[in-house]
Structure 1
Amino acid sequence: MKIKFRLNGKTCCVQASAGENGRKLMQRLGIASVRNSDDATGVTGSDAIRLNGKIVNAGLLVASQLDGHSIETVEALSDGRTLSAVQSALVDAGVVQSGYHAPAAALILTDLLERVLEPTQADIVDAFSGFYTRDSGYQQYFGAVALARERRKNPAYPARVAEEFREDLRDVGTVRRKIDGPQLVLGQKAFVEDRVEPGSCVLMFLRSPHAHAYIQAIDTAEALKLPGVILILTHENSPDVYYTQAGQNAPEPSPYDRKMFNQK
């Protein structure tokens, strides 16, 4: 079906399949900021959009429900180069960590401040009632709202989110803006999923049904003949490189006792 709507101030006409998910449509249109972290259950709010001036979850909509309406995403808040008052406040208040939910947070807070000029803590809690994040907790959001209110009046209003100390050191004890904070809060491409182009290969794993068993032999000849199969990786043709499961920065003292594809 053909649907027509306004997306961030521009008329958009697209073909949508029956039942196509609203978030997936946004992704298909190049809006990377409408993210998926709850498989369309509406739990986390990372797929927040503003539909006709109200915050809703794109993952809970089908594309046909957008027909004839106006949609705003975080891309509408700035020109893509400079941060809005809300976006800069989120970064400087230390809210943006992994940044996966940051675009949704910016959209939700912008909507709140446009509705309520001086929101109370209860107003902020209510605005975030459909938003879940584990990055920083929620206390910093109250500070971000206060900072955003000041920056809407004065964009140069300074942020004081922590005390500084040790003037003799360059970095330790110095408050610095997160380097990739602006990129994350603007909703720009920053994660692996944002860089998956059409036609990309999809990796699938076949696991052994037997725990701690050793692989005696693998015959991949027939599997390689299947349509769409490009490559099959096993312990026989993969680099013999060990790694640690600890996941910390190098040098990591934990044992390097794992391989991506092992004979066991």
Structure 2
Amino acid sequence: MWSTDSQFLRSQPSTHPLAASPSISNSIYSPDHGGVGNLRAWFSYEELAEATDGFSGSNLLGEGGFKCVYKGLLADGREVAVKQLKIGGSQGEHEFRAEVEIISRVHHRHLVSFVGYCISEHQRLHVYQYVLNNTLHYHLHCEGRPVMDWATRIKVSAGAARGLTYLHEDCHPRIIHRDIKSSNILLDDNFDAQVADFGLEKLAMDSNTHVTTRVMGTFGYMAPEYASSGKLTEKSDVFSFG
């Protein structure tokens, strides 16, 4: 993962109710629950447990190598998707902080909307707007689904491409997603695409090829030059998109 030593995660006093834990950096907290940087909301673990009915299996939306995602209903009536990271300890905190910093600066109609976050002991959670119409993978591959017509396929492809273009060209620094695949493209009720899951993204600090010793992504979608050499560029996402 890329470095999180940014002034964006500015230091906060230790008056936050969860900041007393010595295993958690105080810089992630805002004492008035206003969040970090321009994040809109901080949630307690208890709030999210209640919203998801105790992270019930009946609310499980999906599961990956590093996360489980649950549907939740907040006290104010908003439907959300709660992503619970599986990684614990210092590595989990590092990746959580990195992801929080990225998501807080990304806003586009074709990227899933971030609502807030929670950090408690070894628990790391993100809260996103719930997207009603499941994933592109679901509509293309699940049994019993009607065949998606070409006009809808083109609409979804164009929307996902616009989301990626924003990450690659309009974010500063640029963002490389690293895990573009059909299950990470969510669809709303109008079949507008929203690119999701920024758990593997990489900030491109300059125009040079970035080399990482930690190759991450999904086999079959991963660009061969990235898989073999660790050289990461926007073209890696373009290969996955194709």
Q: TM > 0.5 between the two?
A: no
Q: Which has the larger share of strand?
A: 2
**What is the TM-score when the length of structure 2 is the normalising length?**
0.29
